[in-house]
Structure 1
Amino acid sequence: MKTTPYLRGGMVQTLYSTLGMVKRDKYSDISYERETRTMSDGGTISLDWYTPNSYKDDTRPIAVVMSGVGGSSYEYHIRCLAKSLGKGYRVVVMNHRGMGRTPLTSPKIYNAHDTGDFGDILQYIRGKHPRAKLVGVAFSLGANLLTKYLGEQGSSSLLSAGVAVCCPFDMSLTGRSLDADTFLNNQVFQPKLVATIKRFFVRNSEILQSSPTNYDWEAIMRARRMSEIDTLVTARDYGHRDCWEHYHEASSSAYVDRIQRPYLAINSMDDPVTRYEGIPQAKFRRNPHTALALLKHGGHIGFFCGLRPKIWFLTPIVEFLDGVLISEKLKSAEALPPHVSLAHFDIL
């Protein structure tokens, strides 16, 4: 497969994906059924289900999907993935607190550090569908949470397998990459991310003002970098000194060698956000449950191929998950299927 000729380079691929240049087409034209869950602290999580051809005693596996920061089930790559998986899986996209038109009903907000909500949702889905296998697919910041969850839970994980796309294994390196003085950061990433957070705070000002953190609202509204926002908000939520201490604690790199379920990470070497230098490649080589697909090109959640751009990673994700579940049926194995190994793919 070849990279879309007019989308060469990580920055171009990332821009094409980030700026929403891809809208709705035949690959993403789906409809969800929404379910809302009230968490123990009164917070709300929404679950958007895509279950084509579902029936009462459906025991097909369930793919639980998470987006990146500020994302939701409505993103193009999420809809494309849901449609691709829908042939053999029931798909549910977890929209975090306050995201994807989910009301914020408690002052606790989504972050890259806390896997509690994800674990609780998996427990709920397992209770509701006890006969179905669960697998996880997540992107960017969501991929960090998925990786941490799998490492934290080890052999107790409720997921039979996981796929992480563009996971920021080293959050400190990602933070420094976003803070770098580049055109893409200054004109695209930082303004877009910071504006998203500010709108979130304004939209949910009443509930957030009840937070025990006692946010400095004026400083938040003056902030121009995500590192400033994270120091003022997320770091304070967890008692960390600043964003850098928070990034260190939130990084999923330390959890890769603890994963005991089949796990595939897909990253690109030209990702301007999630730098490939932060990928713990040695840990992947040592852990027989993990595989790394490290591509030369793809940008951050881009991977567009063909003259008419199509997302490359959809097929590998489906094939990997299918292989794991078939292997489980044949061998009841928890390690990678024999045909899956540490892989370095190259899209030219």
Structure 2
Amino acid sequence: MTELLLLLLLFLCAVLLCVVVIRGEGPVPPHLYYRKASPFVAGVLAACPVFIKPYTPTRLWGRSGHIQTFVYSKLERWHHPNLHGRRHERVLSDGATSTFDVYEATRQHRSAGDLSMIVCPGIANSSENPYIRTFTDVAVRDGYRVAVLNHLGVLTNRKLTSPRVFDYGSTTEFHYMVEDMRKMYPNSSFLAVGFSMGANIITKYLGEHPDNQKHFICGMSLCQGYDIASFNRCLESSVVMRLYNRAIARSVRSLLRRHRDVLFSSEAERRYGEADVDKIFSSTSVIDLAKTFSCRRAGFDDPDDYYAWGSSATYLNNLTIPMLFLNALDDPVVSPSVHGIARKFAETRDNCLFVVTHHGGHLGFYEGGILVPSHVTWLERAVLEYAGAIVALNSGER
């Protein structure tokens, strides 16, 4: 509760600053990083004016990354749609029950093709989160089928069937969702979309086994941290960052507590060894939780080995399909200090674009209006324009 009050105070201070301080900076276009001689990226940019034109954040508070992030994570979307999808589940070899929801397109895509966005949400999120529902609604209205992974342990009405929850670096559940989607829609073209932690997962999934890329025409990584060790250091770099760190840790602890009877059962002890439950539930940072819980569950004794295994940066050089990486300079969760990983990759590939906006926070990207933003965010527009460009450039190919 203390961390929440501090974040609320930070939010109010940022609002005051945005209202009182006269800002000379007007809207500016994003920074774009790519191999300049790439005709493929040139074609993408020609079809994506969203990357060329200035991004205009909501006037009174949109230039604060903290407020953008607060609105996204705490207030979320105040008028998100009530979608109805079909839930699919699969019992995995370790007894875990993985689920995902499928939402059909409400109209045919302008290309007349069968297109499926395979979505991996952020940490401790699922198809029930308002930002995922809003994104899904925008995508199905544009002609895409959308499949959303529900991270293990997140759904409030589903009990765990195995002593395991989602992991920052595990691609197991995403892999089986893709396999099931391939069986259900063998003629569909797949586009991978990942938010934050989910962006790390889809990037790692595409890179860890090159054959995985055969089923996708592109990947879209939105606000990921690329390297877990560097990401953790960023979360400890200042008082404000430590507030975010504690908030994320509190969310994960809450999930672990909800499934405590399964996660710390005798079966869990047989699989993973005895856990220091008191230490786990007293952890106040993502780093502590990684050391006390995630590391052992993933089969690692050394946190550094766990971070290398789980980070998408380890697998980037295996990527060959078109990729979009997108981050914001004022993201209070993912520091610009890790942007160099994506920039270096994008500038050495012919089919990769790294987009960095001045504003947007962590997955916020609200735009338009003086106080109340537009219903559709800049991020959603960017994803749909990029996806449309890839589909157009990919026409005639599978």
- State the TM-score, normalized to the length of structure 1: 0.87
> Which of these residues, 263, 270, 284, is aligned with residue 330 of structure 2?
270
Match of 1:32 in 2: 85
Asked if structure 2 preserves the Cα contact closer than 8 Å seen for 1:230 and 1:242, the reply is no
Distance 1:245 1:107 in 2: 22
- Asked if residue 12 in structure 1 is aligned to residue 67 in structure 2, the reply is yes
Structure with greater Cα Rg = 2
Match of 1:255 in 2: 315
Secondary structure, counterpart of 2:395 in structure 1:
helix
User: Between Structure 1 and Structure 2, which shows a larger proportion of helix residues?
Assistant: 2
Question: CA 1:104/1:219 → structure 2, altered by over 3 Å: closer, same or farther?
Answer: same
> Which of these residues, 366, 370, 373, is aligned with residue 309 of structure 1?
373
Secondary structure, counterpart of 1:287 in structure 2:
coil
Distance 1:198 1:313 in 2: 29
Secondary structure, counterpart of 1:291 in structure 2:
strand
Match of 1:202 in 2: 257
Match of 1:346 in 2: none
Asked if structure 2 preserves the Cα contact closer than 8 Å seen for 1:272 and 1:299, the reply is yes
1:88-107 → structure 2 map (5 Å cutoff): 88-101=143-156, 102-107=158-163
Secondary structure, counterpart of 2:216 in structure 1:
coil
Secondary structure, counterpart of 1:19 in structure 2:
helix
- Matched to 2:354, the amino acid is L
Asked if structure 1 preserves the Cα contact closer than 8 Å seen for 2:190 and 2:216, the reply is yes
Secondary structure, counterpart of 1:313 in structure 2:
helix
Q: CA deviation at 1:291?
A: 1.1
Distance 1:145 1:52 in 2: 25
Moved more, 81-90 or 208-217: 208-217
Distance 1:326 1:154 in 2: 24
Question: CA 1:82/1:190 → structure 2, altered by over 3 Å: closer, same or farther?
Answer: same
Q: CA deviation at 1:156?
A: 4.2
- Asked if residue 119 in structure 1 is aligned to residue 181 in structure 2, the reply is no
- Asked if residue 215 in structure 1 is aligned to residue 275 in structure 2, the reply is yes
Distance 2:249 2:314 in 1: 28
Moved more, 105-114 or 90-99: 105-114
Distance 1:264 1:84 in 2: 19
Question: CA 1:128/1:22 → structure 2, altered by over 3 Å: closer, same or farther?
Answer: closer
Query: For residues 274-313 of structure 1, what are the alpha-carbon distances to aligned partners after superposition, in whole Å with 9 as ceiling and x for unaligned?
Result: 1222121111111223211111111111111111323111
1:262-301 → structure 2 map (5 Å cutoff): 262-279=322-339, 280=341, 281-301=343-363
Asked if structure 2 preserves the Cα contact closer than 8 Å seen for 1:155 and 1:261, the reply is no
Secondary structure, counterpart of 1:114 in structure 2:
coil
Match of 2:19 in 1: none
- Asked if residue 135 in structure 1 is aligned to residue 199 in structure 2, the reply is no
Q: CA deviation at 1:155?
A: 5.3
- Asked if residue 179 in structure 1 is aligned to residue 236 in structure 2, the reply is yes
Distance 2:187 2:317 in 1: 29
Query: For residues 175-228 of structure 1, what are the alpha-carbon distances to aligned partners after superposition, in whole Å with 9 as ceiling and x for unaligned?
Result: 112223423532xx3343223222222221222122222321111121111211
Secondary structure, counterpart of 2:83 in structure 1:
coil
- Matched to 1:10, the amino acid is G
Question: CA 1:181/1:276 → structure 2, altered by over 3 Å: closer, same or farther?
Answer: closer
Asked if structure 1 preserves the Cα contact closer than 8 Å seen for 2:346 and 2:354, the reply is yes
- Asked if residue 229 in structure 1 is aligned to residue 295 in structure 2, the reply is no
Distance 1:81 1:48 in 2: 14
Question: CA 1:120/1:33 → structure 2, altered by over 3 Å: closer, same or farther?
Answer: closer
- Asked if residue 42 in structure 1 is aligned to residue 113 in structure 2, the reply is no
> Which of these residues, 85, 90, 111, is aligned with residue 139 of structure 2?
85
Asked if structure 2 preserves the Cα contact closer than 8 Å seen for 1:67 and 1:138, the reply is yes
Q: CA deviation at 1:37?
A: 2.1
Moved more, 283-292 or 155-164: 155-164
Secondary structure, counterpart of 2:242 in structure 1:
helix
Match of 1:149 in 2: 205
Distance 1:61 1:52 in 2: 9
Distance 2:210 2:90 in 1: 26
RMSD in angstroms over aligned alpha carbons? 2.2
Q: CA deviation at 1:21?
A: 4.4
Secondary structure, counterpart of 2:289 in structure 1:
helix
Distance 2:92 2:152 in 1: 10
Report sequence identity in percent. 25
Query: For residues 90-123 of structure 1, what are the alpha-carbon distances to aligned partners after superposition, in whole Å with 9 as ceiling and x for unaligned?
Result: 1111101111334311122211222122112211
Q: Which has the higher contact order (CA 8 A, sep 6+)?
A: 2
Distance 1:249 1:39 in 2: 21
- What are structure 1's unaligned runs of at least 5 residues? 334-348
